[in-house]
Structure 1
Amino acid sequence: MGSSVVVVVAERKRLRQLNTELSQLTPPPQRLVAIGQGETDIAEIADLNPALARRLRQRRMATWLIPFGFFAGLTFTFITDLDTFAFAGSIGSHLIGGLLGLGSGWMGSFAAAASVSSDVDDRVRALRNRLEEGNWLLLVEMPSGVEIPWTRLQEGRPKAVVRLNDN
């Protein structure tokens, strides 16, 4: 992921003009998304939708926390040699312990994903407000190692340019 900025423009004509100019750059932007009325919905962009970003983060965390929880629960029942689930037999008791660990890993993925607050949230809130005021947004992400075309962006006379990240 490279550097990302969001350009706020007041007119759709200017949005399209800037979009066309930036798409013709060499090297071209990695991502160029027009957002606003008649364009892409802001809810579809993970960078500008904290709820969607949290959901994606939870899914990524679940892919390793769920199996880890299962094996941790299984190992715990073997190590402690407790007969908490004696009704299920020897193998069943260990399997239930693993399933309980699996459930703990799944719940942990939600807790861990929700506990991470993004430093971008305030900037995203301001961008959402600009969008509600009737402006359009243009998300520009350049490849790693390529500088944002600041002069080209300023030629489009934006109302604001908000930096999302700088990698």
Structure 2
Amino acid sequence: MNYLIAVLSDRIQAEAAYVALEKEEVPTDRVSILGKGYKSADEFGLIDPNEPARKQVKLMASWLIPFGFVAGYTFSLITGLDTFAWAGEIGNHAIGGVLGAISGGLGSLLVGGGVGLIIGGGDAVPYRNRLNAGKYLVVVQGSETLIRKSTSILRKFNPENIQGYTI
């Protein structure tokens, strides 16, 4: 599926762009306006990338932390290291398990998408930020021909940004 997203500064411009697309016979069921009074980012399906990242980190942590504990405990048991003399034999193994669990937690953060959660990522975030700033998005979905036709129509409205996507 091809998408075209144009960022327009106000509601009047967004409505005018919608009408222009309608006049040029772009099917109205393929055009959406996102912004105050219209569809929200969630209603349209503009996914907040933080939600799936949080879910993935939790899923990974649910099995990596216990696995890390067992692996750290087993490593300490097999090697017989006496790293913390004050803790005794069982204490050393328990500390090895805790350090393994911490490593599992860090692994779930890195592998599960936590880096993207921390530093952000994806195109959905800038579009959400623009919607939060009071801007409007005109989104056209359809064939490549329809997207090309819509691009030439929307360029007449001098959008802040216009971007095409193929999914």
Instruction: Using structure 2 for the length normalisation, give the TM-score.
Output: 0.55
Can you give the 5+ residue segments of structure 1 that lack an aligned partner in the other structure?
A: 87-92
Aligned residues: CA RMSD: 4.5
Q: How big is the shift at 1:39?
A: 0.8
Q: Which residue of 1 aligns with 2:147?
A: 149
Identity of aligned residues (%): 8
Tell me if the contact between 2:3 and 2:166 (Cα under 8 Å) persists in the aligned partners. Answer: yes
| Alignment partner of 1:75 is 2:71 | yes
Counterpart residue type for residue 12 of structure 1: E
Q: Which residue of 2 aligns with 1:89?
A: none
Instruction: Using structure 1 for the length normalisation, give the TM-score.
Output: 0.55
Can you give the 5+ residue segments of structure 2 that lack an aligned partner in the other structure?
A: 78-88
For residues 23 and 69 of structure 1, the distance between their equivalents in structure 2, rounded to whole angstroms, comes to 50
Name segments (4+ residues, structure 1) moved above 6 Å.
none
Q: Which residue of 2 aligns with 1:104?
A: 105
For residues 120 and 99 of structure 2, the distance between their equivalents in structure 1, rounded to whole angstroms, comes to 31
Q: How big is the shift at 1:151?
A: 1.3
Counterpart residue type for residue 162 of structure 1: I
Counterpart residue type for residue 130 of structure 2: R
- CA shift digits 1:105-130 (9 cap, x unpaired): 597257423344436479537x7179
Q: How big is the shift at 1:80?
A: 0.9
- Number of residue-to-residue matches in the alignment: 144
- CA shift digits 1:48-107 (9 cap, x unpaired): x7xx31232221243234312321221211221262388xxxxxx69x759945982597
For residues 79 and 53 of structure 1, the distance between their equivalents in structure 2, rounded to whole angstroms, comes to 37
Q: How big is the shift at 1:137?
A: 1.3
Relative distance call for 1:72 and 1:130 in structure 2 (3 A) is closer
